[in-house]
Amino acid sequence: MKDSAAQTGLPFMKMHGAGNDFVVIDQRGRGLAAGSGITADLARKIGDRNRGVGFDQLAEITRSDSADFGLIFWNSDGTQAGACGNATRCVADHVMQGMGVDRVSLTTARGTLRAERTADGRVWVNMGQPQLDWQMVPLAREVDHLHLPLAGDPVGIGMGNPHCVFFVDDAEAVDLANLGPQIEHDPLFPQRTNVEFATLLSPGRIRMRVWERGAGITLACGSGACATAVAAHLRGMTGLRVALEMDGGVLEVDWREDGVWLTGPVARVFDGVLSADYVAAAR
């Protein structure tokens, strides 16, 4: 089937969760098979903050035979991400409003997830149970994931994508722009890794900064918040419910028996249409 975007342009939404910003493209009405819409070249082009729209991640909404909808995530460098908690919350909010419901299911590379709107209006998403086995994080070799053999004694956690969590005295003082890419590409992480630096403020509150695999420094990271909360609890630093202060706002994580639940602010900023010429040039 001929791609209508080459003739009419490609509609999108710009959304963010605590400053973690996304381009959201709904492919469900375009007659495309899942995964046949966005390409790596197009994702990179849209992700350019000077020549495109700009985003930390692009979320592609697809049809799903087993859930209310599906999601495919793209980083701004054109690679795919297995999970994106804040984008999932943003899209779930949009879909629930459109369906007139307070609960939806969705499929991602992580598996089938659930999202719900609570009585106070917040959107929570169940990100699933953390992946704690070294092969599932994944790591390049068998090591203690609670004490990775790297300077700084970080924790390795999988949340659908890999995370390396450092607990430091002062997250503000970390040279994130320098250390982030070094750790992202460390040979211990065969799929690269997200990198979090966290400071415990109290047993229920953490200050966290993040370098995201494929995106760089971002104002917030939902799966990173989940990984940091899990790591802090496993290290005996916090309980199961934690608030995480990020550069863009506060996210809350609640590790329950059925998975790690995430919530925080959601905003739909504007809608737009990528021109047909712009889309065609990136195909």
Tokens of 3: 């791609």
256 in helix, strand or coil? strand
Q: List CB contacts of 80: < 8 A, sequence separation 6 or more.
A: 72, 73, 74, 109
Buried b (16+ CB within 10 A) or exposed e, 133-152: ebeebbbeeeeebeebeeee
Between the alpha carbon of residue 91 and those of residues 50, 88, 237, 276, the distances in Å are 25, 5, 32, 24
Nearest partner of 216 among 2, 3, 20, judged by Cα: 20
Q: List CB contacts of 155: < 8 A, sequence separation 6 or more.
A: 145, 146, 147, 148, 164, 165, 167, 231, 234, 235
- Cα distance between residue 204 and residue 233, in whole Å: 10
User: Are the C-beta atoms of 262 and 85 separated by less than 8 Å?
Assistant: yes
Lookup result for tokens 């991640």: 57
User: Are the C-beta atoms of 114 and 125 separated by less than 8 Å?
Assistant: yes
**Residues designated as active site:** 84, 221
Nearest partner of 63 among 98, 99, 26, judged by Cα: 26
